[in-house]
């Protein structure tokens, strides 16, 4: 057996994994974790901890680099709900071509030969997006911006403070008292989703300021060029923010993945941020961080 067709789901146990590894790899795992833990893991469901790859981190140093790449892709796919066979095959090819990227994703030191320059990291991660179906890309983009949103120090209250009083009053009057209070406490994108029914209260200037300010805070500081790029994007796609925020903040959103990707123009908004080194941290959310 090999790791090439290994698929990780909620029923996968440690034994399912260990049976695919070499005797040398299994012996290393036993030595690293102890016989008792090894025996316990045989019957343990690997996704029991929510699929956090960090839980499996002690295993990776014992594996051949090819198996690290293959197991890494299996974990990354499982944490976002899985991929089609075609998407998974494409992602696997990328991981095998650039195993150092998978090592970096799991916080491991890569001692092999570098297969890409640091400046190419974004392009390779973009390649993982390109492997996906429209629905998978929508889920990945949702994870990405949810991570950015969660990192924001701002709340809905900070963003309401950006509005002219007439628009702020309209938002308060449109929402119920409970909805408005929830909006004030929420992270920026979730606040936008909670206030989607009041979107007509906002002028295009306010909508643009809302999105740019939220992105700036979540990323940790936008350059003037990035801010201008995002501003131009929102002005050209005024329906983007309400639909995007609703999709991010509500799993039961009435918008389909196709509508989300069409309105959001795929990753066009993300291209405004490519100059920032920190965007790579958030792009890892593609893999379920």
Per residue in 199-227, pLDDT (tens digit) is 889 899 998 888 888 888 877 777 888 88
Total domains present in the chain: 2
Q: Are residues 58 and 71 in the same domain?
A: yes
Q: Are residues 52 and 123 in the same domain?
A: yes
Average pLDDT over residues 65-79: 84
pLDDT at 267 over 60: no
Which residues partner with 45 through β-bridges?
13
Residue 4 lies in a domain: no
Residue 107: alpha-carbon gap to chain centroid? 17
Q: Are residues 154 and 280 in the same domain?
A: yes
Tell me which range, 82-86, 125-129, 148-152, 184-188, is most confidently predicted by mean pLDDT: 184-188
Residue 6 lies in a domain: no
Reported as half-sphere exposure (CB side, CA atoms, 13 A), residue 171 has a value of 29
Q: How many residues does the chain have?
A: 289
Q: Is 44:56 a contact under the CB 8 Å cutoff?
A: no
Residue at which a domain ends, from 132, 159, 189? 132
Q: How far is CA 276 from CA 111, 164, 171, 226, 270, in A?
A: 26, 31, 33, 9, 11
Q: Are residues 256 and 149 in the same domain?
A: yes
Q: Tens of pLDDT along 85-100?
A: 899 899 899 889 988 8
Higher pLDDT, 283 or 173: 173
Residue 189 lies in a domain: yes
Q: Kindly write down the DSSP assignment for every residue of 230-281, as one continuous string.
A: HHHHHHH-TTHHHHHHHHHH-TT-SS-HHHHHHHHTTTHHHHTTTT-TTHHH
Average pLDDT over residues 114-124: 73
Element (H, E) at 226: helix 224-236
Q: What is the pLDDT of residue 254?
A: 61
Which residues partner with 13 through β-bridges?
45
**Domain of residue 43, residue span:** 14-132
Residue 26 lies in a domain: yes
Residue 2 lies in a domain: no
Residue at which a domain ends, from 92, 115, 132? 132
Residue at which a domain ends, from 88, 103, 132? 132
Residue 9 lies in a domain: no
Please state whether the predicted TM-score (pTM) of the whole model is above 0.85: no
């Amino acid at each position: 057996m090999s790791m090439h067709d290994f698929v990780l789901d909620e029923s996968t146990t440690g034994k399912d994994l260990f049976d695919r590894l070499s005797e040398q790899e299994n012996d290393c795992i036993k030595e690293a974790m102890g016989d008792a833990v090894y025996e316990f893991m045989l019957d343990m469901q690997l996704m029991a901890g929510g699929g956090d790859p960090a839980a499996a981190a002690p295993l990776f140093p014992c594996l051949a680099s090819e198996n690290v790449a293959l197991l890494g892709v299996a974990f990354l796919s499982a944490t976002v709900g899985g991929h089609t066979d075609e998407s998974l095959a494409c992602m696997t090819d990328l991981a095998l071509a650039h195993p150092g990227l998978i090592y970096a994703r799991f916080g491991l030191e890569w001692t092999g030969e570098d297969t890409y320059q640091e400046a190419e990291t974004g392009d390779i991660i973009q390649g993982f997006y390109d492997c996906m179906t429209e629905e998978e890309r929508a889920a990945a983009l949702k994870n990405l911006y949810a991570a950015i949103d969660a990192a924001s120090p701002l709340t809905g209250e900070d963003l309401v403070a950006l509005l002219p009083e007439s628009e702020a009053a309209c938002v308060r009057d449109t929402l119920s008292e409970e909805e408005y209070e929830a909006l004030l406490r929420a992270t920026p994108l979730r606040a936008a989703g909670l206030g989607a029914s009041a979107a007509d209260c906002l002028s295009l200037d306010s909508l643009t300021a809302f999105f740019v300010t939220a992105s700036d805070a979540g990323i940790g500081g936008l350059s003037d060029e990035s801010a201008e790029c995002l501003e131009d994007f929102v002005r050209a796609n005024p329906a983007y923010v309400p639909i995007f925020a609703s999709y991010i903040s509500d799993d039961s959103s009435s918008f389909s993945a196709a509508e989300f990707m069409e309105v959001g123009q795929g990753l066009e908004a993300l291209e405004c941020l490519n100059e920032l080194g920190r965007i790579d941290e958030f792009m890892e959310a593609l893999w379920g961080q």
